[in-house]
Amino acid sequence: DGGITQSPKYLFRKEGQNVTLSCEQNLNHDAMYWYRQDPGQGLRLIYYSQIVNDFQKGDIAEGYSVSREKKESFPLTVTSAQKNPTAFYLCASRRAWGEQFFGPGTRLTVL
């Protein structure tokens, strides 16, 4: 079955560390997205990519970086510059008409 996998499900980071969240899709979708979710804040867009080797900043890109070397993969790195990284991170890909299909999420906690 086609879908999006995110790993790990839970991730713990020490202060000053960079960590990378994985997102893989086998839906053959061109566009992929990363969102951050905090309680009561809804979903906020971090980065998105419409095609391989190209990506754009979203609303809260500071302290994050991405790459898109393969159509199937869109990893997100949370750098030490992100001062408040504890959150639930969701990866998505886009189907037709703007509809997005979501992965199961990664919960990142700073120790």
Partner 1 sequence: AQSVTQLDSQVPVFEEAPVELRCNYSSSVSVYLFWYVQYPNQGLQLLLKYLSGSTLVKGINGFEAEFNKSQTSFHLRKPSVHISDTAEYFCAVSDTQGGSEKLVFGKGTKLTVNP
Please report, as ranges, the residues that interact with partner 1 according to CB under 8 A: 4, 6, 31, 33, 40-43, 45, 48, 50, 58, 88, 90, 92, 94, 97-105, 107
Omega before residue 8 within 30° of 0, cis: yes
Q: Which is nearer to partner 1, 41 or 84 (CB)?
A: 41
State the minimum distance, in angstroms, from the CB of residue 109 to partner 1: 13
Token representation of residue 69: 């070397």
Query: With left for phi above 0 and alpha for psi between -120 and 50, is residue 42 left, alpha or beta?
Result: left
Kindly state the smallest distance separating residue 80's Cβ from partner 1, in Å.
26
The least CB distance from residue 77 to partner 1, in Å, is 20
Between 16 and 40, name the residue whose CB sits nearer to partner 1: 40
Nearest CB to partner 1, comparing residues 16 and 53: 53
Tally Cβ neighbours within 10 Å of residue 5.
12
The nearer residue to partner 1, 30 or 69, going by C-beta atoms, is 30
Q: Report CA torsion sign: 96, 24, 49, 33.
A: positive
Q: Could you tell me the smallest distance in angstroms from the CB atom of residue 20 to partner 1?
A: 19
Residue given tokens 């750098």 in the structure block: 79
Grouping H, G, I as helix, E, B as strand and the rest as coil, residue 29 is: coil
